[in-house]
Structures are given as C-alpha cells and as structure tokens.
Structure 1
C-alpha cells in the first residue's frame, strides 16, 4: 500500500465521526470480478441493479480508462464498485450522464505524484472548469450516491499536494472534484493532501456526511509561508430548486444531522478538516444550505460566505445555517466578504454555537474587499455599488483569540487581512459600506484574547456606516474599542 499520512489521532477523529452518525452504511468489500462482466444485484445490498466493478491494473499503470469504461457501462440504475486497492487515476475523468447510480469507493484514488504530469494533464483536459480551476474528477447526473469505506485507510482521494506546497508551485493546479448532481449523497470521503481546491458542489439537493480533509503540511506551522497549503478550501453553490439550472461553479458541503430533507440545497454533517483557506465557502448561487457539526483546524479562513461581487458582478447567497462548529487556529470563525463595487445580496445567514480555539478574529464582515496587490479601486468620488447584506445572525460564540492575527498566506505588505487598529484582541470586525447592511444581530460573544480576560475583548466597527436604526438591533456597541453587549429592541 502507498505510504500515506494517517496519524492515529486523525484516524480516531474519523472513527468518532462515524460513531456519531445517525445514518451508517455497511457494505461488503469482496471482489466481484473485473469490468466487462457486470453483475445484476450483487454486493448483497442492491438487488435489481446492474453491477460493475472497476478494473484495477495492479501494476501501477493508469486506471483512468478502466474508470471511464465502468461508468459508461453502468451509467443508469447501477452499482459501481471500486475494490480495496490503490487506483492510479493519472488522467482527469468526466463521469457524466449518471442516473440512479450508487458508487462504492472501497479503495483509494491517487493522482500522479509528479507535478509536471499533473500540469500537462490539466492543461489538455476537456473537463468543465469551476470557479477557480479545472477538476480532476467531474461527476454529473441525478440521484447519485458516492459512498466511501468506513475504514479510515480507504475511501481516499489522494493528491500528493505537499510537494506543490513545498515548492510554492501554483501553475496549472487542479481542483480535486466537482459533484454536479441533482439529488446526491457523499459519505465518508477522505481528502488527503489535495493540491489546492477540494470539492465543488454546484448541484441541487446534496447531502454530505462524514467528510474528512487533511491539507496540513508536515513541516510548517500556520504562521509560516513555507509549504503553506494555499487555496485548499471547500465550496458550495447548491440551490434548493429542483427545476433551476445549477450554476457552473460551486462548493463542498458537509451535511446536517437529520434525515435527508429535499428542501435544502446542501446539507453538511460531521466535517473534520485541516486546511489553509476557507473551511467551507458558500459562493454565488448558494441557497438553502445547512452546515452542522464540524471541526476546522490548522489555518482555516473560516465558515465563509463569499467572496461575492468581483468585477461588479451581481451575485447572491441566501438561507444559510452554520451550527455547532469548532474552529481551531483559524484566521476567522465566521466571515463574509464582498468586493468593492459589487452588486447583489446576501440574505438570511446564521452562524450559531461556534467554539473558537486560538482564532484570530471571531466575526468578520467586509463589503469593501479588494486585491491587496492592486490596491483599492479608483473611483470618481461618487457612490460605489456594494453587495447588500441583510438578516445576518451571530449567536453564541465562545472560546479564545490568538495573539497573531494573520497566517502563512500573508505574502504582501500590508497583509491581505490587515485592518487599521487590529492587534489580536478584536472579537468582531465590521467593515461595512454605508447604509447597505440591515438587520444584523449579534448575541452572546463570550470570547477572550490570548492570555487576557474576557473584559479585554475589543471590536472594530464604524457607527457612521450603520443603516438608520441598526444600532438598536445590533446587540453590541458599534465603536472602535471594548466589546460591550447591548440590549436589542
């Protein structure tokens, strides 16, 4: 078996995720023969389905043609099984036209370990690009279940990304996978050392359970730019509307702890990950997302909405719930980001029961984001468009802040997340565009700075940017100074 990083503590965490799951799937690992001899029923659990087992070459050569052949043969009303083996997925694959398909990933899928080989393959692939990059694996269809092995050593997507991080190589990086599915399930997926972006979910009505990400370098801390895992984020752009055309960009989600609810676009439950960008990012088109019961470690950039409105685009996110998360070593706990000059809106977003361990800033909003390397956009002095914000709720934030307010992504001066006055004691930073943020409510932020009492917690907020009447409903005193909770009317 390929030597992989899978420490005892990470494996224990994944076993805990499985133990806490309300829904578990038990399935056999026996070999049912190679592709070309599809079986009906089979696997002991799915009678009446055509069954294809993906052939494994066993000699380390490219298994991608075998993957494509099995998915072509069993694209409808079928069960597709990857045996307990390390499959060499050395060529990007588009697995399209799927309808009512169950995929059992009992083995592992390995990208090439060679950087030039990956770059060449991604440069010529015809896989549909996502927001930031082109995916190595592209799934498209309806009623698709991707179920990985319970065993922590199997059901892995392995990117060999640490070599890329060591060299700070950012040319022709692939996104790991897109799951563009209408009514889908992902369960027990383990992402090990992705090169950059992880899973993108631009479909509708998707549930993700027990999702694990290991994008933590073995030779660096969160403050070092050496071997930093840039852009190893997870995104979601799913919609609740079955009849709506799904956007071509998206995100990943870890589903909520409840029975499948088709009224939600995406649901995340039981996520455990270490990464170097947004833990979960909800981008344009996300509507009806529930993300519950997760842990984000190493140097996450938070439970994020955005960015929205780049280059003046009209973009929207609405009806979002983040609940019951632990953020360990993150730059932000909860974050919203929209670009200066953007359009559109973000509405009805709740962050609730968020526990912080050495997090730089608990709650952060900016409607004035710009590229630090290019500087603020030039204006004629007149009004600037801004993505509108409404009905944001922050409730029950607990824990501690970190004295260092940035991380290893800080490669410019000033740093991309610099805010005048920031000193590591701020639990809340609001950088609002005047009169465009309404019905923001902050309730119970019980967070203390590093080695300081709770009373030392500060905020950065400009009261002149609040819409009329907003101070009465905000829940804290909007000022540049101590955090003071206020009664709401």
Structure 2
C-alpha cells in the first residue's frame, strides 16, 4: 500500500509555489514546501504504523495557522555517509533537518499512544564512534522560529544529536519524549531544547539523553518548564555568554543517574545579565553535581574563547533554589568525559558534595536564596556544599561554606 501525504485544503486555490511530496517508494517522500502567505489551516495526516523517510531536510516558511497531525513515524535516512554528505552541503542543509521559520500559529501534534508519531534519528549509528563529539557533520534535528508555536506529544527516538532549537515567542510544548538510550557508545550532544524564545512553557517532559534537558539563554524572557522526568542528563540549565534575559522557572522534576541536576553555566571570559531564576521541587538521585552554579564554563568541543578577558563574568540576580532533595553519585563523571580532567571537573569536587555555588564575587551574584535543601553524599551521610564568592553574605538561607549546610 502506497502512503500519500495529503496537503489540504489549500492546494486547489494555491496551485503555484509549492511542491507536492515526491514519491520515492512506498511510504516515503522527499520534500514538501508549503507556500508562503498561507492563511488557511493545513493538516498533514500520516497514517499510523507507516514510516515516512525524510531523505533530505525540509523547510517551511511563512506559514499561518497550520497544524501537522503526525500519526505515522518520520525517519531520517539510516545511512551515516548519506546524512553527513547532506549536512556538508549548504545548498541542501540549512542548519537543521526540519526547519519552520517566519511563521505564526504552527502546531505539530503526535499520537496519544506509542504506535505512531515518532521521529527516528538513528543516532546509534553514530554513537559507537569514539570521535563522535568532534564530528561536525552530524545533523541538528528541529529549528522553530515561530510566533504561537504548539508542540504536542513530540516523540524523538535516538536523535543523532541536538534536538530542538526554539526561538520566537508564545511557545507551548507538552508531553514530550526524548529517548536517546544507547547500548553501544555514549549519545554525545543529544540536547533536548536550546531555548531562546520568550513567553514559553514546556509542560511534561520525559527523557533519556546525554546532554542538557533544556538550556535557556538570553534573550529569552518568561520561560517555564515543569513536570520533568529525566535520566542521564547534563541538567535543567540556564547559560549565558551575552545579552539580558530572565524570569525562568523550573519546577517539579525527578532526575535520576545523571551528571548534573539544577544548573547554571556562565561562559568563561564573557558577561551577561540573568534575572529571576528559580529551581523548585526537585528530587535528584545518584547525580554527580545535583546543584551546580559556575561562571567559568568551557565547552570541551570548542575550548576556551581566544584571548578571553578573565575579568568578565555573568551577572546573576535573584536566583532561588527551593525544596530540593539530592543524593550525590560515587563517580563524578559520565561517558561524555573524553578529556583528563573531565570537562565537568569542578575545583574542590567530592562525592560528598551536592551543592556548588562558585561565584566570581558578590557583585556578580546578588540576592541568592536557598531553602528546604536536603543533601546526601555518596557515603549516605549529610551532603556538603562548595561555595566561593559569597562568604559572609547574609539572607541566603544557608551560609556560604565548604562543609555541610548551615542555616543562616
């Protein structure tokens, strides 16, 4: 049975400026470009239990009020050399395999069950290569630059690497699954969301991956992520290397067997302003760095910035950690550690420490508040904190010390 991807009801009225799906073989199509200035609702239905191959990247621009109903499964080619050849060709590859830009009112809706609605990346074909982390020919999956974006029940299986890059405004993402579990090699750079959009909510997230669940960075404003279950992650993260952003809330998270939990990373030799960030209601188990705040982050793939001005650091104001229970793992590393020391190495680190607040000084870290924090070290005893730059500051809830938590 041949699968047809239906585009309706716009085809009759706008017969120019689009290509219908090109049939390559049963249950596959090559590209589909929707015309600009489309104002009618478009629904793409993919039948359940079918695999639709995205042989080349697809891009949509200028959409208005469009919904994609994904009942079948969409898959990248299961061929490393084919995919990398496309990624290396700028005429074919715009930076992501699926791109939606300059659009308004776009919705992707997956199925409520597990039979369909999956995006298949075949990342396991890359992960067995020990040099995967330095491979620049790996595809990024999705890029959305949309006003009023809705992503419902998106399910990603074994992405090669980076999943969602989201900018724009008015974003609502619900019930997402990212499954990058690997039995042969580490799933490098399988980040969940790179979020620079404003007025965004991510509600309901389950993942097994080898990098950040989410990384929110300026210029994003007003971002909430809640109801998280995650394994193997590098954190529910905020980062910055420039600009201003803030009003970020992360709440209701269960994190297991991971490298980092609640995370902030200011990039070494840069400055920025981040205001009003809260992590609350977190349970973090068997994790190397349950709460981790640093201002000298270096990406191990790119190294430190050339001629970095080490006098610069992020300005972080009104950061809150509330109602967090955490147990530290015995090993302070994961499979992403390909250097010695590991990229995540933190001066003073210990399996008995669960809270790191490493500020440049009090000027760069203002109005920090910690409450209802319970830490257990890997030995089962009370967990410790490691704090610099905030010695003597009052009103934080706990004193800046290098020992067990002391209320102040």
TM score, norm. by length of structure 2: 0.89
1:59 aligns with one of 12, 15, 25:
25
Q: How many residues align?
A: 394
Paired residue for 1:274?
208
Q: Structure 2 vs 1, CA of residues 127 and 339 (structure 1 numbering), >3 Å: closer, same or farther?
A: farther
Q: 1:422 and 2:349 equivalent?
A: yes
Higher strand share: 2
1:79 aligns with one of 32, 42, 54:
42
Q: Deviations over 1:200-248 (max 9, x none)?
A: 11121100000000011024xxxxxxx11111112343444xxxxxxxx
Higher helix share: 1
RMSD: 2.8
Q: Deviations over 1:10-68 (max 9, x none)?
A: xxxxxxxxxxxxxxxxxxxxx9x6547x448xxxxxxxxx9x9x858483585123x33
TM score, norm. by length of structure 1: 0.75
Cα distance in structure 2, aligned partners of 1:138 and 1:440? 39
Paired residue for 2:387?
461
Alpha-carbon shift at residue 82 of structure 1 (Å): 3.0
Q: 1:124 and 2:89 equivalent?
A: yes
Paired residue for 1:232?
190
Q: What aligned pairs does 1:128-207 form with structure 2 within 5 A after superposition?
A: 134-140=95-101, 141-168=103-130, 169=132, 170-207=135-172
Please say if residues 288 and 328 of structure 2, whose CA atoms lie closer than 8 Å, have aligned partners that are also in contact.
yes
Paired residue for 1:21?
none
Q: Deviations over 1:80-101 (max 9, x none)?
A: 2232221110101111110011
Cα distance in structure 2, aligned partners of 1:399 and 1:459? 12
Q: Structure 2 vs 1, CA of residues 367 and 185 (structure 1 numbering), >3 Å: closer, same or farther?
A: same
Q: Deviations over 1:360-409 (max 9, x none)?
A: 122111112235685697679xx712110110000001142211111111
Q: Deviations over 1:437-477 (max 9, x none)?
A: 10011111112122413x3x111112xx228x7x2122212
Alpha-carbon shift at residue 102 of structure 1 (Å): 1.3
Q: Deviations over 1:407-444 (max 9, x none)?
A: 11111111111123212111111121123110011111
Paired residue for 1:258?
none
Q: Structure 2 vs 1, CA of residues 94 and 39 (structure 1 numbering), >3 Å: closer, same or farther?
A: closer
Q: Deviations over 1:308-345 (max 9, x none)?
A: 21xxxx32330000000111112111110012221221
Q: Deviations over 1:93-125 (max 9, x none)?
A: 111110011111111111011111111111224
1:95 aligns with one of 53, 56, 60:
60
**Structure 1 gaps, min length 5:** 2-30, 41-49, 220-226, 241-264
Q: Secondary structure at the match of 1:319?
A: strand
**Structure 2 gaps, min length 5:** none
Q: Secondary structure at the match of 2:285?
A: strand
Larger mean CA deviation between 419-428 and 351-360 belongs to 419-428
